[in-house]
Amino acid sequence: MTVYDFTAKDNRGQEVSLEAYRGQVLLIVNTATKCGLTPQYEALEATYQTYRGRGFAILDFPCNQFMRQAPGTDEDIQTFCTLRYNTTFPRFAKVNVNGKEAHPLFVWLREQAAEDEGDEKAKSFEKKVKLMKPLGKAGDIKWNFGKFLIGRDGQVAGRYSPAFTPDKLAAAIEAALV
């Protein structure tokens, strides 16, 4: 199984096969518009602009599971991201990433890489998150802006902590683009 075996609704409600991204390096991110990490949209867009010409895409999946920090409709989220952060990468409809209602893509992603990579800042953030929400199952996505790097072969190449900022992924993205 690869990422290309999945479909998801885009932010206009149209079913999209991830097969459309075959051969590209992908960064799949669960996002939120009212989170302390929301300014990462700026770094995500910069990363997208840096690498998109080399076969790289960011797939944005808003998620309202973490303290309801992605309120509003898919259209509201699109408007916010476009006007506030000038994002141009593909955005999908809101999904759940953990639990019984989790989108099958995120179930698969979590199975492929159960632990986040990150730095000291990311580890410190994760300790704070544990205080704010009950512990989930092992492998659950911890918060908004969890990131999965997908290689050109459609397999998970890395999983990164929500607090691990997109600019720190440059080496991993470069390696995957080769």
Q: Within 10 A of 38 (CB to CB), how many other CB atoms are there? A: 19
Q: How many domains does the chain have?
A: 1
Answer yes or no: is pLDDT of 139 > 70: yes
User: Residue 59 belongs to what domain range?
Assistant: 3-177
- For position 94, what pLDDT does the model report? 97
- For position 101, what pLDDT does the model report? 95
What pTM value is reported for the model? Answer: 0.92
Q: 56-76 pLDDT, tens per residue?
A: 999 999 999 998 999 999 999
The stretch 31-35 carries a mean pLDDT of 96
Q: Which two tokens stand for residue 133?
A: 């929400």
Residue 45 has, within 13 A of its CA and on its CB side, a CA count of: 14
Q: Which two tokens stand for residue 75?
A: 């259209």
**Cα–Cα distance, 150 to 75 (Å, whole number):** 27
Q: Within 10 A of 144 (CB to CB), how many other CB atoms are there? A: 27
| Contacting residues for 18 by C-beta, under 8 A, at least 6 apart | 3, 4, 5, 6, 7, 8, 59, 105
Answer yes or no: is pLDDT of 134 > 60: no
- For position 135, what pLDDT does the model report? 56
At 83, which CATH number? 3.40.30.10
- For position 124, what pLDDT does the model report? 74
Band (pLDDT 50/70/90 cuts) for residue 132 is low
Band (pLDDT 50/70/90 cuts) for residue 133 is low
By annotation, the residues acting in catalysis are 35
